[in-house]
Amino acid sequence: MRSRVRPNISFNEPLIFERSSPGKVAYQLPELDVPAADPLAALGPENTRSEIEDFPEVSEVEAIRHYTRLSTWNYAIEYGMYPLGSCTMKYNPRINELVARLDGLALTHPYRPEALAQGSMEIMARLQASLAEITGMDAVTLQPAAGAQGELTALLMIRALLASRGNPRRKVLIPDSAHGTNPASAAIAGYAVQNIKSNDAGMLDIAALEQSVTEDVAALMVTNPNTLGIFEENIVHAAEVLHARGALLYMDGANMNALMGIARPGDFGVDALHLNLHKTFSTPHGGGGPGAGPVAVKQSLEPFLPIPRLRSVGKKWAWDYERRHSIGRVRAFYGSFGVLVRALAYILAHGGPGLRKVTLDAVLNANYLRKKLEGVYELPYQSPTMHEVVFSDDRQARHGVRTGEIAKRLIDYGFHPYTVSFPLIVRGALMIEPTETETKHELDRYVEAMTQIAEEVENDPEIVKGAPHETRTSRVDEVAAARKPVLRWKPV
Ligand SMILES: *Cc1c(COP(=O)(O)O)cnc(C)c1O
């Protein structure tokens, strides 16, 4: 029997300001048996304000219930599957959170003298070495705060290397299957972007590439596997074409969940790449919180890495700021340290064979979904699927239902939507990345929901078009929410 997945309870919770009534407090203290002091007086009037207009006054249980109820309105990986393609929303083991919260690591200060920070520095050195091993590259910087900043960091290094050879060049080539941050990073690094079309297999068109690599081209930025979840089979050839003409190969490595322990970018000709520790290596993301986008490079780019660099002096670690060719700093301090701790804990807990298993399971899960759903949704590219699979809404569009509406209907079934309308080369894309942390049971529930929605599209399209029905609010004005956000409550 089909069990319909239900969303969580959803109270019509008012704002905490609307719950307020004068005089209510959320604490109870014993009577004073000493003279009352005025703590505000000590701070001085310029540092204090007498009253906050309409400050909410509620009891303890009201405060607790209010925030607990709000917390149930958020979808979370702890609640269910989060198949947002390209985002690798995997479950992050709690043990890594625990390690990152150890007092000695969580409370350390970035300005602590080197002699007292040797343990933290050792963690960073080991993580650099691990990431170099996983990617097959020669050197790693942990400084960039996110994937996109890693891209920019690498392009600035490529520019510096080419400039040192006499000409920074003008253009960066980017396939139409690339992630949207790639062209943005290239433009910020001062390069003109030239698009390269994909072929019918959803891969880089090598003939088009050969024609485009002129003396003016600094690099090709390729996402691999690309945003169709397809591995670029001609990557070695592409690297040869670029290198023969003095250009470099940059790889967007945010999809490392498809390669770890199986293939090393350094072995297939990549000169620089970034990783998303907050995707592949166990840092929760999605709330805008800290991430890390380390960059790994080949020897030729090593002199240009951001300062400071870790350097071993005898048996100790030191920070090296004296690097003539460095592009400088790209972030305050040394990177998002807590994220780095989680990543090393995750890598050490898995070991090489464990990371390989992560990849194998991620690819297996994506292929399981592909097989179960390819009779239901249109599969525009037949090339082998890696860690994510991209369908189109072609069949459903005939009934007037588009990918965004199918995604909204998924919410009624208790799932977070997949990535909608991306990559752009697929009209009406449904981009699904289950990750390795989902069980077969959970994948089957997802398949069932997707299949039922496809049946609804044929029999009762209006129910899909009007979704979600079971949430507290249904369709919100997404454009107004992005363009005219109301972030602060004000008394009427
Ligand atoms: C997520 C992602 C990025 C950008 O990473 P951020 O950390 O969000 O800046 C770049 N490329 C690909 C393929 C991604 O999936």
Residues 385-406 have pLDDT tens digits of 999 999 999 999 999 999 999 9
Mutate to test the pocket of ligand 1, among 256, 276, 279, 339 (most ligand atoms within 8 A of CB): 276
Percent of the chain at pLDDT above 70? Answer: 97
Confidence class for position 79, pLDDT limits 50, 70, 90: confident
What pLDDT shows up at residue 161?
98
Q: Rounded to the nearest 5 degrees, what angle is found at the Cα of 255, between the Cα atoms of 252 and 258?
A: 135
What pLDDT shows up at residue 70?
86
**Is 70 exceeded by the pLDDT of residue 8?**
no
**Is 70 exceeded by the pLDDT of residue 383?**
yes
Where along the chain do its domains lie?
Answer: 94-349, 360-481
φ, ψ of residue 157 in degrees (nearest 5): -70, -40
Which atom of ligand 1 sits closest to the CA of residue 279? 1
Residues 186-205: tens digit of each pLDDT: 999 999 999 999 999 999 99
Confidence class for position 1, pLDDT limits 50, 70, 90: very low
Residues 138-147: tens digit of each pLDDT: 999 999 999 9
Confidence class for position 86, pLDDT limits 50, 70, 90: very high
**Is 70 exceeded by the pLDDT of residue 372?**
yes
Confidence class for position 153, pLDDT limits 50, 70, 90: very high
Q: How far is the CA of 320 from the centre of ligand 1 (A)?
A: 29
What the block records as the tokens of 143 is: 């400084």
Q: How far is the CA of 144 from the centre of ligand 1 (A)?
A: 12
Q: How far is the CA of 190 from the centre of ligand 1 (A)?
A: 20
Nearest protein Cα to ligand 1, atom 4: 147
Q: Which residues line ligand 1 (CB under 6 A)?
A: 86, 146-148, 179, 181, 223, 252, 254-255, 276, 291, 293
Residues 236-294: tens digit of each pLDDT: 999 999 999 999 999 999 999 999 999 999 999 999 999 999 999 999 887 767 899 99
Q: Does domain 360-481 have CATH number 3.40.50.970?
A: no
Alpha-carbon 194 to chain mean position? 25
Cα–Cα distance for residue pair 486/65, rounded to 1 Å: 24
Cα–Cα distance for residue pair 146/336, rounded to 1 Å: 9
Mean pLDDT over 222-243 rounds to 97
Mean pLDDT over 140-165 rounds to 98
Confidence class for position 41, pLDDT limits 50, 70, 90: confident
Mean pLDDT over 34-58 rounds to 84
Q: How far is the CA of 181 from the centre of ligand 1 (A)?
A: 7
Cα–Cα distance for residue pair 456/406, rounded to 1 Å: 10
Percent of the chain at pLDDT above 90? Answer: 83
Mean pLDDT over 309-320 rounds to 96
Instruction: List Cβ neighbours of 487 (8 Å cut-off, separation of 6 or more).
Output: none
Alpha-carbon 381 to chain mean position? 24
Please tell me whether residue 120 adopts helix, strand or coil conformation. Answer: helix
Mutate to test the pocket of ligand 1, among 90, 181, 386, 435 (most ligand atoms within 8 A of CB): 181
User: Which range (35-44, 293-302, 445-454) has the least confidence?
Assistant: 35-44
* Measured CA distances, 403 to 299, 367, 398, 428 (Å): 45, 20, 12, 6
Nearest protein Cα to ligand 1, atom 2: 254
Which atom of ligand 1 sits closest to the CA of residue 181? 10
User: Which CATH class name applies to 94-349?
Assistant: alpha beta
Mutate to test the pocket of ligand 1, among 82, 84, 152, 179 (most ligand atoms within 8 A of CB): 179
Which atom of ligand 1 sits closest to the CA of residue 178? 13
Mean pLDDT of all residues belonging to the chain: 94
**Is 60 exceeded by the pLDDT of residue 374?**
yes
What pLDDT shows up at residue 11?
62
Q: How far is the CA of 218 from the centre of ligand 1 (A)?
A: 21
Common-topology check for domains 94-349 and 360-481: no
Nearest protein Cα to ligand 1, atom 15: 86
Q: How far is the CA of 251 from the centre of ligand 1 (A)?
A: 12
* Measured CA distances, 422 to 181, 227, 388 (Å): 13, 8, 12
What pLDDT shows up at residue 133?
98
Q: How far is the CA of 86 from the centre of ligand 1 (A)?
A: 7
